[in-house]
Amino acid sequence: MKTYFPNIEKIKYEGKDSKKPLSFKFYNPDEIVMGKTMADHLRFAVCYWHTFKGTGSDPFGPGTIVRDFASASDPMVQAEETLYAAFEFFTKLGVKFWCFHDRDIAPEADNLTETNARLDKIVAIAKKLQSDNGMQLLWGTTNAFSNPRFMNGAGTNPSPEVFAYAASQIKKAIEVTKELGGLGYVFWGGREGYETLLNTNMGRELDHLAMLMKMAVDHKNKIGFTGQFYIEPKPKEPTKHQYDFDAGNCLAFLRKYDLINDFKLNIEANHATLAGHTFQHELEMSAINGALGSIDANRGDEMLGWDTDQFPTNIYDTTMAMYTVLKHGGLTTGGLNFDAKLRRASTDITDLFHAHIGGMDAFARGLKIAAKLQEDGVFENIITQRYAGWDKDLGQKIETGKMDFDALEKFTIENGEPIVQSGHQEMLENILNTYI
């Protein structure tokens, strides 16, 4: 059988002192952490778009990356070869999940019928490859933002014909996700936002978007797809203003249109920081709203104002992310999807392995540190102590609704100035550093 990575063997765990670049130093899939294997905690997924379709192009230059599997001139042959290469990559890397947009795996044709036929053909191959390699689809999705027809939006398009086209794509994408046993389906509305308010009816566009989501839920139920639906927040880019700005804005939307029980969130690190939040903040915000679904594991560059989609390597970030994930019970349907791309100048095929290994090791390390922090009760004990008043008389009366403003004023007048305690932030940051 043809191989696309001939000089690469299956990546193995060799421990932190290994000097072999193409090995895991920290990610040991079968190692038990807090009662589960690392693989079960982390549920790594490779994304198809960046990893197999990325070329290194940017607004100032075309692609720099040339791949054997993308060399065929017939787009369907190219699609098949890329699919085989992908599964070879998954296997050699040792991940169990993948994610894709419909258009990543099968090229669009001149009309929807033919486009769908092409997709079906590739999906059939993918289904067999999944089965042969023990792979699962973490989530599927449609690309309703690249084609010029979506330049003014998909579900929020001023034209209902484009809405219909987007709905048709989503329908098919949900169906192939079901066919592949996908655990979830993501909505990222790349052009669901506006370029200028001068030509935009924001209220009506959001009503339409909600209608699209309701139809998707209905279709999901109709066909018996049991995967989880996710919305992925992003504040800006490609549009000037994306409606799904951040977790809070998505939750406001989901609650307004009574969709809160049908969707969770897919939080991306780089989208969080573009919105002015830390990655952990967005995870925590999702979790306390019962909406922590899945994670796009990447990182941005804090000095840059666009979506750099870099592979995650910052141990502080992976630690705090996994800390919040563990605190809230771990990932269930979701996973850690590397929505990350090689730098434009990382043109070697080995760079693709280095990049994923680095991301997996960074999260493995974050998991282990976070687990140790949890097991030692480091911050939880301090937090419990800090809020102890709320577990006592006054606190409990307030929490259970037994106090009103009159009673609280009476309490304050009788008790005078409350004692105020240091937040000890610097000490806590030092403690964190002893675990890093």
Any contact of residue 422 with a second copy (CB under 8 A)?
A: yes
Is residue 7 close enough to count as binding a second copy by CB under 8 A? no
Q: Kindly state the smallest distance separating residue 371's Cβ from a second copy, in Å.
A: 17
Those residues whose C-beta lies under 8 Å from the C-beta of residue 66, and which sit 6 or more positions away, are: 347
**Amino acid at site 46:** V
Under the criterion CB under 8 A, does residue 343 sit at the interface with a second copy? yes
| Interior angle at CA 100, CA 56 and CA 75, nearest 5 | 65
- Considering only residues 173 to 202 of the shown chain, the ones binding a second copy according to CB under 8 A are 190-191, 195-202
CB of 171 to a second copy, least distance (A): 4
**Could you tell me which stretch among 28-36, 123-131, 132-140, 339-347 binds a second copy (CB under 8 A)?**
339-347
Site for a second copy in 222-261 (CB under 8 A): 222, 235-238, 240-241, 245-246, 248-249, 251-253, 255-256
CA angle (184 as vertex; 342, 94 as ends), nearest 5: 45
What is the rounded distance in angstroms from the CA atom of residue 300 to the CA atom of residue 54? 17
> Pattern 118-157, binding to a second copy, x per CB under 8 A?
---------------------------xxxxxxxx-----
For position 48 contacting a second copy by CB under 8 A, the verdict is no
Stretch that binds a second copy, among 2-10, 118-126, 129-137, 344-352 (CB under 8 A): 344-352
Q: Which stretch binds a second copy (CB under 8 A): 4-12, 118-126, 178-186, 399-407?
A: 399-407
Q: Give the whole-angstrom CA distance, residue 271 versus residue 268.
A: 5
101 is catalytic: yes
Residue among 84, 88, 64, 97 nearest 8 (CA)? 88
Task: Return the residue of 63, 107, 181, 330 that touches a second copy, per CB under 8 A.
Answer: 63
Dist CA 356 CA 338 (whole Å): 8
- Decide if residue 68 touches a second copy (CB under 8 A): no
Residue span binding a second copy (CB under 8 A) among the ranges 35-43, 94-102, 118-126, 353-361: 353-361
78, 168, 333, 374: which one binds a second copy (CB under 8 A): 168
* Nearest-angstrom CA–CA distance, 394 and 229: 41
Q: Is 412 helix (H, G, I), strand (E, B) or coil?
A: helix
Would you count residue 101 as binding a second copy (CB under 8 A)?
no
CA distance 378 to 375: 8
Active-site residue, from 104, 262, 307, 339:
104
Tell me the closest approach of the beta carbon of residue 25 to a second copy, in angstroms.
6
204 binds a second copy (CB under 8 A): yes
Neighbours of 371 (CB within 10 A): 20
Q: Is 375 in the site for a second copy (CB under 8 A)?
A: no
What residue has token string 């990546």? 11
**171 counts as binding a second copy under rule CB under 8 A:** yes
Counting contacts by CB under 8 A, is residue 99 touching a second copy? Answer: no
State the first-to-last Cα distance of the chain, in angstroms, to the nearest integer: 44
Q: How far apart, in whole angstroms, are the C-alpha atoms of residue 85 and residue 62?
A: 23
Q: Which of 41, 101, 277, 356 is catalytic?
A: 101
Taking the complex as a whole, the smallest distance from the CB of residue 128 to a second copy amounts, in Å, to 26
Q: Is 277 a catalytic residue?
A: no
For helices 378-386 and 349-375, the axis angle rounded to 10 degrees is 50
Query: What's the rounded Cα separation, in Å, for the pair 164 and 118?
Result: 20
Beta bridge partners of 13: 24
25 interacts with a second copy by CB under 8 A: yes
**Which is it for strands 44-47 and 336-338: parallel, antiparallel or unpaired?**
parallel
329 touches a second copy (CB under 8 A): no
Catalytic residues: 101, 104
